[in-house]
Chain A
Amino acid sequence: MHVTLLAIDLALVIEKLILIAVIVTVSLLVAMYETYAERKIAAFIQDRRGPNRAGPFGILQPVADGLKLFMKEEIVPNLSNKFLFILGPGLAMLTAMMTSAVIPWSSHIELFGRTIHLQIADVNIGILYIFGVVSMGVYGVMIGGWASNNKFSLLAAIRGASQIISYELAMGISLIALLMLTQSLSLKTIVQQQQDGLYYVAYQPVGFLIFLICAFAECNRTPFDLSEAESELNFGYHQEYSSMKLGFYLFAEYVNMFISSAVMATLYFGGYDIPFVNDAAFGAHYGQNMLAILQGLSLFLKVVIFIFFFMWVRWTIPRFRYDQLMRLGWKGLIPLSLLNMLITGFIVLLRQYGWHFS
């Protein structure tokens, strides 16, 4: 048995590992400051000032929060399933982070004579991958809720899981309409298609709206945050959790928000394309690395706008009742997305045949 295990391109592995480390760090940092932004925006919308004690303008608040969570007593319920109890928040975090693997964060940079694509994996099923990972997100909720050995947690977990499954359907169907236009599942290709011409939101406004609403539901964000409805079910599926395990659940929500904002920006708003600028000409003029940095910033700006939107909605719209949530999902969004898909397919076919029926 001769060892040729290391025959794979070592430079590639190192490159990808660095990229993964950077992206994970950035996601966590963004999630950290999302908690700060959430509190600030909540405060501003409610005519308050928000956290402003830790550091200038309170920018050290997330650090203080994290420290507080780490310092808290870690309680594992006596009759819970210890392994699954710990696995739950881990899974929630893992699935939240895994989606970032297929998002193209920028085009490519040239460093040390290598062309480094700023995307961890350009698989040709990018969208489906996101979809698959999102559907795994249910397990973090369900396992955590069940392993707590608490009826309230279990009920909340089941409510949360069925909500995620219900909205996944409409999300998938709204994506199919988009895929008919893109003819590709690779996110990189989709971004490149949008670089010249209109963004896909112009072609798929209804699809985008459905996707947006479903993204809210998938992230358990406020009009749909029933699984953590404090007033009804104490605290939802993470009721028995404390310390950093609770922190992981809460944090996973913010990571999810970041990633789904990135997905929406990529699919419907041109991803790393700089708006109103011809990227190729710009790159030729200022160099590829400069272009890549600006493109990354451009995507980041779009993501920030989406995150702001998420928070803005959270502090505006009250929570749905559970039956209203299900009715919106099954009777509202799914028929709408089906209709959207059919119309899109019809128009795509018409265009292929040159706008006449025969």
Chain B
Amino acid sequence: MQALTSRSKTVERKPMTIWERLYIPAIAKGMSITFGHIFKKKPTINYPEQTRPFSPVFRGLQVLNRDEEGRERCTACGLCAVACPAEAITMEAAERLPGEENLYREEKYAAKYEINMLRCIFCGLCEEACPKDAIYLSETFTAANYSRQSFIYGKKELLIPHPKLQPEAYEKAKGQRVKR
């Protein structure tokens, strides 16, 4: 029969010699192999203390971005909701009132902005759709909670910390990720 690949090996079916049938040499060989493994470098990463470096295109949980002065970028245009294949995003728009210029960058803003994180597939299409760079997939992941309701993130959870008031938290939430 012709071999299917050039790498196939034919199995020898010779009867074992006495030396092989003693099994002790084979056992000793196996034991030496396992003993050698004791001193090998462990590939395990001690997760909560150490983390693996993220890929520059990693897509974690979304955040709603602010600009350099800490104003919300989102204008509630709804493009992200349209782009979302999982239909996880809903929002309600509101008009900026006079005196709120330091809070919202444009005249219109999202009064309510919700992402259902259980529906979200982290495809990043919302980020690509956003004309204002307002939504951004961060490096945060492994969200854990006790109820499904709590996975519907509102603005409270999504908004990135203020870059001037809480600069450290802002940097942490922003992460090292680069936008494609």
Contacts and interface: CB of A to CB of B under 8 A. Distances in A.
Interface stretch (B42-50, B99-107, B117-125): B42-50
Contacts of B38: 41, 44-45
A92 to B, nearest CB: 29
A52 to B, nearest CB: 8
A48 B44 contact: yes
B31 A45 contact: no
A315 B44 contact: no
A49 to B, nearest CB: 5
Interface residues of B, number: 13
B46 A49 contact: yes
B40 A312 contact: no
B10 interface: no
B35 interface: yes
A47 B40 contact: yes
B37 A44 contact: yes
A317 B43 contact: no
A192 interface: no
Contact of A49 (B27, B33, B34, B44): B44
Interface in A122-161: none
Nearest to B26: A317
Chain A interface residue bracket vs B? 10 to 19
A298 to B, nearest CB: 23
Main secondary structure of the interface of B (DSSP, over half): helix
Contacts of B43: 47
B40 A316 contact: no
Contact of B31 (A44, A48, A49, A316): A316
Contacts of B42: 47-49
Nearest to B41: A47
B31 to A, nearest CB: 5
B56 interface: no
B34 A316 contact: yes
A45 B37 contact: yes
A317 B30 contact: yes
Interface string B14-36: 00000000000001001101110
A313 interface: yes
A148 to B, nearest CB: 35
Contacts of B33: 316
A48 B38 CA distance: 9
Interface string B85-111: 000000000000000000000000000
B30 A316 contact: yes
A45 B44 contact: no
A47 B43 CA distance: 7
Interface of A: 41, 44-49, 52, 312-313, 315-317
- 5 A-B pairs closest in CB distance: A316-B34, A44-B38, A45-B34, A49-B44, A316-B30
